[in-house]
Structure 1
Amino acid sequence: MRIGFSVPQFGPFADPDRSARMCTALEGLGCHSLWVADRLLAPLASPEGYPGGKGMPARYATHLDPLLTLGVAAMATERVRLGSSTLNALWQPPLVLARALTTLDLISHGRLDVGLGLGWMREEYEAAGVPWRGRGARLEETLDVLDAVWRPGTVAHTGPLWTIPESTVLPKPVQVPGPPVLLGGFTPTALERVGRRADGWLSASMPLPHLTGLWSVAVAAAERAGRDPAGLRRVFRVNPEVTRAGATPAESHRRGTVRRICDHLEAMCEAETDEVLVDLQLTTDSPEEFLDLAAAFMAELDGGSPAPARDQPVPARDQRVSAEDSPGRPPRA
């Protein structure tokens, strides 16, 4: 199992200097990855559809840009993987997105994981001037453009939404054939897309029977596409509600003591490439408590093993990382 934490970027943590210091401290705990999230606005009239059904937390009204925050995290760390869970993929043209992601992969020396999703808030799409309808088809073509930009050679793309004349687009990312792309979503259509063309799934802590049913869709889709399902990564996000007392079995995937929540996360992870993402930004307002809780989750999930060495060699900026060197990457369709 791999262990990740959220990059501090919302509410009281929306301060670049504070975020940088906390990223350095989180890496020092020995975690494997740090992840940003994406929020564009918080409507005063409560939006419908927020996952969890309790209404969107007020602190999401204060946020740092996810891609720029990843740049801060990249400069503040040396070893951890850096990802987005999730970046709303459709709010900017894919060529512009590809350029930004390539730059982040270079800044981080090949440590970038690209986690993309469609979002859930119609109001953000309206504010960004992006149609709400047709999101799935727009994401498919976005992935086509990312592949076209990142593969070696010249770039050309002709599709229903975007046309790129044959062009030179340099530099290329450090990672070959580009940073790993993980997709979010909890519908059969989303899981089919994960199995068919992604490097992994950005999921959430959930009851095990629900997980089994969803994952079977991705596995079947990967097999139909001639891909090895065992190569797909899974990242399980939890926004824990930490309590002193225990919780009911139905709540243990997100609420209870640190030990109880970790028991459920460990039960979800079946492969070494499975990963948990603990987002503590809704759990505390204090940087000190944030880091104390992160240490507690590390101790439970990692068995108290020592932090990885921080003096591991880092690839030079112009050194390409092969697909075989990237963790858990099945061949793309």
Structure 2
Amino acid sequence: MRIGFSVPQFGPFADPDRTAGMCAALEDLGCHSLWVGDRLLSPLDPPEGYAGGGRMPVRYGTHLDPLLALAVAATATERVRLGSSTLNALWQPPLVLARALTTLDLISHGRLDVGIGLGWMREEYEAVGVPWQGRGARLEETLDVLDAVWCSDPVVHSGPRWTIPESTVLPKPRQGPRPPVLLGGFTPYALERVGRRADGWLAASMPLPFFHGLWSVAVEAAERAGRDPAALRRVFRVNPEVTPAAAGPAEAHHRGTVRQICDHLRQMCTAGADEVLVDLQLTTESPKEFLDLAAEFLTELAPPTPGEGRP
């Protein structure tokens, strides 16, 4: 199991100097990856589609740009993988997005994982003037353009939304033929797309029956497309609500003691390429608290010494 953490970029952590220092400290603790999130705004009225129908956490209204935050993380670290979970890819033209991601792959010396999704907040789409309807088809063409820019020379694309004349678009990413692309989503349509054309799934910690049902859709789609499902990566995000006493079993996928939450994550991570993404930005108030809790999760999720079980 690989273990990653969120790049500090929201609320009290939305300070580039603080972000850089904390990313370096997280790498020193021994994590494998660092991931940014993507928010444009936090509506004062409950946004349509928000879990539970309540107000979003206040600190989501204070945020650093995800790609620039990744650039900060890239220059502050040397070893960890750097990804987005998830980048809302439809808010800018895909050619512009491809250029930015190529630059990030070069800045990080080939450590970039491109995690993209559709988002869920209609208000953000309205604010940037991108149609809410037809998001799936727009994402499909976005992936086509990214592949064309990264993998072809010269580059050419003709589609219903964008046209690129035969052109030189250089440089190419350091990773060949392109950086890994992981897709988010929790619907059958999203998982079918993961199996058909992605390198992996940006998932979440969830009850096991729900997880197995969704993952079977991706497996079947990969097999139909002639792809190996075992080659697909899975990154399980958890925004933990850490409590001093154990929570009920139905909540253990996101709430409870560190041990309890990690036990559930271990049940989900059944393949060697599986990864855990622990987002501590809503759980902690200061860099010290963030890093101390990250160290607890790393200790708990680390494999036991051979011959020793967990206490």
* TM alignment of 1:65-76, pairs within 5 A: 65-76=65-76
Q: Which amino acid aligns with 1:240?
A: P
Q: Which residue of the partner structure matches residue 144 of structure 1? A: 144
Q: Which residue of the partner structure matches residue 235 of structure 1? A: 235
Instruction: Please give the root-mean-square deviation of Cα atoms over the aligned residues, in Å.
Output: 1.0
Matched, 1:36 2:32: no
Q: State the distance in 2 between where 1:147 and 1:53 align.
A: 37
Matched, 1:288 2:288: yes
Q: Which residue of the partner structure matches residue 261 of structure 2? A: 261
Q: State the distance in 2 between where 1:257 and 1:294 align.
A: 13
Q: State the distance in 1 between where 2:53 and 2:34 align.
A: 26
- Could you list the per-position Cα deviations for residues 181-204 of structure 1 after superposition, in whole angstroms to 9, with x for gaps in the alignment? 000000000000000000000000
Q: State the distance in 2 between where 1:21 and 1:175 align.
A: 26
Q: Which residue of the partner structure matches residue 122 of structure 1? A: 122
Matched, 1:182 2:182: yes
Given that 2:45 and 2:55 are in contact with CA atoms closer than 8 Å, whether structure 1 keeps it comes out as no
CA positional deviation for 1:50: 1.5
Q: Alignment length, in residue pairs? A: 305
Q: Which amino acid aligns with 2:84?
A: S
Q: Which residue of the partner structure matches residue 212 of structure 2? A: 212
Q: State the distance in 2 between where 1:170 and 1:53 align.
A: 45
Q: 1:52 to 1:226 in 2, by over 3 A?
A: farther
CA positional deviation for 1:285: 1.0
Q: Which residue of the partner structure matches residue 135 of structure 1? A: 135
Q: TM-score scaled by structure 1?
A: 0.90
Q: Higher mean Cα deviation, 262-271 or 296-305?
A: 296-305
Given that 2:191 and 2:218 are in contact with CA atoms closer than 8 Å, whether structure 1 keeps it comes out as yes
- Could you list the per-position Cα deviations for residues 6-51 of structure 1 after superposition, in whole angstroms to 9, with x for gaps in the alignment? 0000000000000000000000011100000000011122202123
Q: Which residue of the partner structure matches residue 297 of structure 1? A: 297
Q: State the distance in 2 between where 1:291 and 1:54 align.
A: 29
Q: Which residue of the partner structure matches residue 57 of structure 1? A: 57
CA positional deviation for 1:52: 5.3
Given that 1:298 and 1:304 are in contact with CA atoms closer than 8 Å, whether structure 2 keeps it comes out as no
Given that 1:185 and 1:202 are in contact with CA atoms closer than 8 Å, whether structure 2 keeps it comes out as yes
Q: State the distance in 1 between where 2:53 and 2:224 align.
A: 35
- Could you list the per-position Cα deviations for residues 27-80 of structure 1 after superposition, in whole angstroms to 9, with x for gaps in the alignment? 001110000000001112220212355431110000000000000000000000
Q: Which amino acid aligns with 2:259?
A: R
Q: Which amino acid aligns with 1:13?
A: F
Q: Which amino acid aligns with 2:301?
A: L
Q: Which amino acid aligns with 1:46?
A: P
Q: Which amino acid aligns with 2:11?
A: G
Q: State the distance in 2 between where 1:175 and 1:221 align.
A: 26
Q: Which amino acid aligns with 2:224?
A: R
Which ranges of 4 or more aligned residues in structure 1 deviate by more than 3 Å?
51-55
Q: 1:31 to 1:52 in 2, by over 3 A?
A: farther
Structure number having the greater helix percentage: 2
- Could you list the per-position Cα deviations for residues 115-144 of structure 1 after superposition, in whole angstroms to 9, with x for gaps in the alignment? 001001001001111000000000000000
Matched, 1:251 2:251: yes
Q: Which amino acid aligns with 1:259?
A: R
Q: State the distance in 2 between where 1:152 and 1:159 align.
A: 16
User: Which ranges in structure 2 are unaligned for 5 or more consecutive residues?
Assistant: 306-311
Given that 2:240 and 2:255 are in contact with CA atoms closer than 8 Å, whether structure 1 keeps it comes out as yes
Given that 2:46 and 2:53 are in contact with CA atoms closer than 8 Å, whether structure 1 keeps it comes out as no
Secondary structure in structure 2 of the residue aligned to 1:171: coil
Given that 1:5 and 1:277 are in contact with CA atoms closer than 8 Å, whether structure 2 keeps it comes out as yes
Secondary structure in structure 1 of the residue aligned to 2:64: coil
Secondary structure in structure 1 of the residue aligned to 2:295: helix
Q: TM-score scaled by structure 2?
A: 0.97
Q: State the distance in 1 between where 2:149 and 2:127 align.
A: 27
Q: State the distance in 2 between where 1:152 and 1:42 align.
A: 39
Given that 2:46 and 2:54 are in contact with CA atoms closer than 8 Å, whether structure 1 keeps it comes out as no
Q: State the distance in 2 between where 1:24 and 1:52 align.
A: 35
Q: Which residue of the partner structure matches residue 192 of structure 2? A: 192
Secondary structure in structure 2 of the residue aligned to 1:202: strand
Q: State the distance in 2 between where 1:51 and 1:23 align.
A: 29
Q: Which residue of the partner structure matches residue 46 of structure 1? A: 46
Secondary structure in structure 2 of the residue aligned to 1:90: helix
Secondary structure in structure 1 of the residue aligned to 2:82: strand
Q: Which residue of the partner structure matches residue 103 of structure 1? A: 103
CA positional deviation for 1:257: 0.4
CA positional deviation for 1:286: 1.0
Q: State the distance in 1 between where 2:154 and 2:175 align.
A: 17
Q: Which amino acid aligns with 1:85?
A: S
Q: Which amino acid aligns with 1:42?
A: S
Given that 1:234 and 1:275 are in contact with CA atoms closer than 8 Å, whether structure 2 keeps it comes out as yes
User: Which ranges in structure 1 are unaligned for 5 or more consecutive residues?
Assistant: 306-333
